[in-house]
């Protein structure tokens, strides 16, 4: 039985909350977080959606039994909002200390006295309380039906990941000599973080195949691989470890009869199986979950719920739409990558080549706000599954899709490095957080700061942002 749960919070909200709780006066302060609820295979996850700071002397006053308390009218107002929006009510305050924190006996008594009535008020949603120290957080979460969970960790999602727990975590770190040169960069703790991380790679073509290799050799411990295709002979030069046998090249040769070619296509290696082979050769301890499917299936979204990071290496606009929704609804950061080759439709001459690495977080890089999801392409891809499966790298839809492994490596390596520095917390605070576009023909880079629009259905306050399971995803049922 699960006895713990996780809370995910955007960095901007965490920084606002920390400034309120720890202004330097050494006193206690209060607030309320309204959070979405996400049921995953590892247990419940809370997704912090909004923060309401309690005003000193008005909402946050000297307590009747404890030192400080939130006033009943303030509590009732926030709880009713949670009821109406189907969100989780979380009362917040702070204690002293630094790296460890716990509720006092008075806190626990107040929970046992007040939470049953709050559960009735919010009508079917959990309620709870969080107590913070500067580098720690503890939580007591009550669910309808009597289940009571403690908070395992708070994951702060932003340019770099920050983890807070009730007390310092004692990681089991082994001395694996294979990673000696990496450990010299980010330490044994960083290597343990990579081993404990879970990533999703959507699309195992030219970019995704390279990513699987790079992340496996970094020591990432758990992979969710998603791709509906098998290897064909034109894939072999750009897929890591692919061979003519994987493509069944001798059976699918155009000189063969169609029935034999059809058999060869059916026997060709699945791309998810090829990447699993690559991952396991690089890191025998890695766990690999494979989905021979398009991304928009419910079981794929279910698997991604537990992930720490999403790599989108499929260029379909339905996949882009769902990826963007997952990042914002579940508070899971990710990156979209691709290579585009522009050719003259009459002469076939190469006009331009550019690679893209677009980080997307709940606070920055929304693909809807930055017009990276085409409504026209969404309509086209919705017509048939065959159209959704088409990977387009050039302007002319009917042209074969050029793809060169060295070009794919540019965006794959940038994305892998961005993930590495995010997950280990090494990225500089002033690092550029937008899209990086490469122009290999010109040997130049372009840095694009993303826009953020008001009223966006994904990243806007009125949309799916941090709603957990209470918003509908654009899936194929």
At 172 the pLDDT is 63
Dihedral over alpha carbons 284, 239, 206, 384 (to 10 degrees): -100
At 476 the pLDDT is 85
Given phi > 0 = left and psi -120 to 50 = alpha, else beta, which region is 443? Answer: left
At 333 the pLDDT is 97
At 380 the pLDDT is 80
Residues 6+ apart with CB under 8 A from 285: 195, 221
Residues 6+ apart with CB under 8 A from 433: 159, 359, 361, 364, 365
At 1 the pLDDT is 40
Q: Pairing mode, if any, of strands 43-53 and 127-133? A: unpaired
Taking 50 as the pLDDT cut, the residues of the chain under it are 1, 387-389, 391-396, 398
Structure tokens at 3: 């006895």
At 471 the pLDDT is 93
Query: Domains in the chain and their CATH numbers?
Result: 4-164 (3.40.140), 177-229+270-448 (3.40.50.720)
Sign of CA dihedral 411, 417, 418, 420: positive
Q: pTM for this one?
A: 0.93
């Amino acid at each position: 039985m699960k006895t713990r749960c996780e809370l995910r919070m955007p960095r901007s909200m965490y920084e606002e909350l920390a400034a309120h709780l720890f202004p330097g006066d050494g006193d206690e302060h209060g607030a309320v977080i309204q959070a979405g609820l996400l049921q995953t295979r590892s247990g419940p996850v809370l997704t912090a959606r909004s923060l309401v700071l309690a005003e000193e002397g008005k909402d946050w006053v000297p307590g009747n039994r404890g030192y400080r308390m939130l006033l009943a009218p303030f509590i009732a107002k926030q709880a009713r909002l949670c009821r109406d929006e189907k969100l989780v009510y979380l009362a917040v305050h702070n204690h002293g200390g630094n790296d460890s924190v716990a509720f006092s006996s008075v806190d626990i008594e107040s929970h046992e006295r007040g939470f049953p009535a709050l559960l009735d008020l919010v009508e079917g949603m959990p309620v709870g309380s969080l107590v913070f120290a500067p580098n720690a957080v503890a939580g007591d979460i009550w669910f309808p039906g009597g289940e009571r969970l403690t908070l395992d960790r708070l994951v702060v999602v932003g340019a770099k990941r920050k983890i807070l727990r009730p007390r310092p975590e004692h990681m089991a770190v082994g001395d694996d000599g294979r990673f000696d040169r990496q450990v010299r960069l980010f330490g044994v703790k960083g290597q343990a973080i990579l081993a404990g991380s879970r990533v999703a790679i959507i699309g195992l073509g030219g970019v995704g195949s390279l990513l699987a290799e790079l992340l496996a050799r970094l020591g990432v411990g758990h992979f969710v691989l998603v791709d509906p295709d098998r290897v064909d002979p034109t894939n072999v030069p750009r897929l890591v470890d692919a061979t003519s046998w994987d493509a069944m090249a001798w059976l699918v040769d155009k000189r063969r009869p169609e029935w034999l070619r059809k058999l060869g296509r059916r026997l060709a290696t699945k791309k998810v199986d090829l990447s699993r082979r690559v991952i396991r050769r690089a890191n025998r301890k890695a766990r690999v979950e494979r989905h021979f499917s398009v991304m928009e299936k419910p079981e794929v979204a279910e698997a991604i719920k537990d992930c720490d990071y999403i790599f989108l290496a499929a260029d379909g606009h339905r996949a882009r739409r769902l990826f963007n929704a997952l990042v914002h609804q579940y508070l899971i950061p990710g990156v979209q990558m691709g290579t585009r080759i522009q050719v003259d439709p009459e002469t076939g001459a190469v006009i331009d080549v550019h690679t893209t690495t677009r980080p997307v977080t709940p606070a920055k890089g929304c693909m809807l706000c930055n017009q990276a999801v085409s409504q026209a392409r969404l309509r086209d891809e919705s017509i048939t599954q065959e159209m959704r499966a088409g990977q387009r790298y050039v302007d002319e839809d009917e042209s074969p899709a050029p793809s060169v492994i060295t070009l794919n490596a540019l965006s794959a390596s940038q994305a892998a490095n961005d993930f590495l520095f995010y997950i280990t917390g090494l990225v500089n605070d002033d690092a550029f957080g937008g899209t990086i576009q490469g122009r290999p023909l010109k040997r130049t880079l372009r840095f694009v700061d993303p826009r953020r629009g008001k009223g966006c259905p994904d990243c806007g306050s009125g949309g799916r942002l941090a709603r957990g399971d209470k918003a509908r995803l654009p899936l194929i049922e």
